[in-house]
Amino acid sequence: MKSKFLRGITHGIPICLGYLSVSFGFGILAVKAGLSVFQAAAISATNLTSAGQKAGLDVIAAGGAIIEMILLQLTINIRYSLMALSLSQKLDKSFTTPHRFLASYGITDEIFAVCSAQKEPLTPAYMYGMIFIAAVGWVTGTALGAAAGELLPAAVSTAMEIVLYGMFIAIVIPPAKKQHGVLFAAVIAAALSVMFKFAVPALSEGFAMMISAITSALLTALIFPVKDEEGEAEAA
């Protein structure tokens, strides 16, 4: 079990380093929104979702309602449920229900990708090792960013905020080059967000983001449906 845990940590170190730099930007944004270093770190320790945290931060800064926060997080983070369902097919028999609940805390895009690439069944110790080191990087980066946000000049802090947005761009561009649907969804969501910002200023940021995300996803699914590869293979 110890060797599996250490193997998970080893595989999670690159994720940890990436999270360390990205969450630094979130920490700065959190302090700018009026949160303390402890509050910023607590959000990262209990969430592990960059997009969800950024969106939630906007709702907090705008004084949004709790129902808005719940619906927004459900919309943004529903993909993690799909990732969990996919990984459930690769779990070792030792993965009991309590272990599944604990491991679900740390299913992120990057951890899902690394776990999916493993050829042997996933054990609790392996996933715990990866989740542990990744969470350490995410929370530490947030705390450092928040602390820096309180000390650095405003001009420098503002410039470093772009780190988080840079990560979002880096996630979208590679698949957008290969799949027109990804590019279409990103453009539609961005266009709707801008429209709501200037044409419907009374609509809160949280609900504007939900409507933009759901609308772009539905339009993309209708215009660029995912092909059934198995069906095509059988037909051939």
pLDDT digits (tens, 9 = 90+) for 48-83: 888 889 888 988 888 888 888 888 888 888 888 888
What pLDDT, on the 0 to 100 scale, is given for residue 2? 76
Domain of residue 199: give its range: 179-229
Does residue 105 share a domain with residue 47? yes
User: pTM for this structure?
Assistant: 0.75
Does residue 68 share a domain with residue 16? yes
What pLDDT, on the 0 to 100 scale, is given for residue 45? 94
Does residue 21 share a domain with residue 123? yes
Which letter, b or e, does each residue of 114-134 get, where b requires 16 or more Cβ atoms within 10 Å of its Cβ?
Answer: bbeeeeeebbbbbbbbbbbbb
Asked whether residue 69 is assigned to any structural domain, the reply reads yes
pLDDT at 136 over 60: yes
Tell me which amino acid residue 109 is.
D
SS3 content of the chain, % helix, strand, coil (to 5): 80, 0, 15
Asked whether residue 235 is assigned to any structural domain, the reply reads no
**pLDDT tens digits, one per residue of 141-163:** 999 999 988 887 776 666 666 66
What are the tokens at 157? 């802090």
Number of domains in the chain: 2
Does residue 127 share a domain with residue 23? yes
**Residue 48: left (phi > 0), alpha (psi -120 to 50), or beta?**
left
Residues in CB range of 204: below 8 A, 6 or more apart: 59, 62, 64, 68
Asked whether residue 234 is assigned to any structural domain, the reply reads no
d(CA 168, CA 153): 25
Does residue 69 share a domain with residue 16? yes
What pLDDT, on the 0 to 100 scale, is given for residue 212? 83
Does residue 142 share a domain with residue 50? yes
d(CA 157, CA 150): 9
Does residue 31 share a domain with residue 134? yes
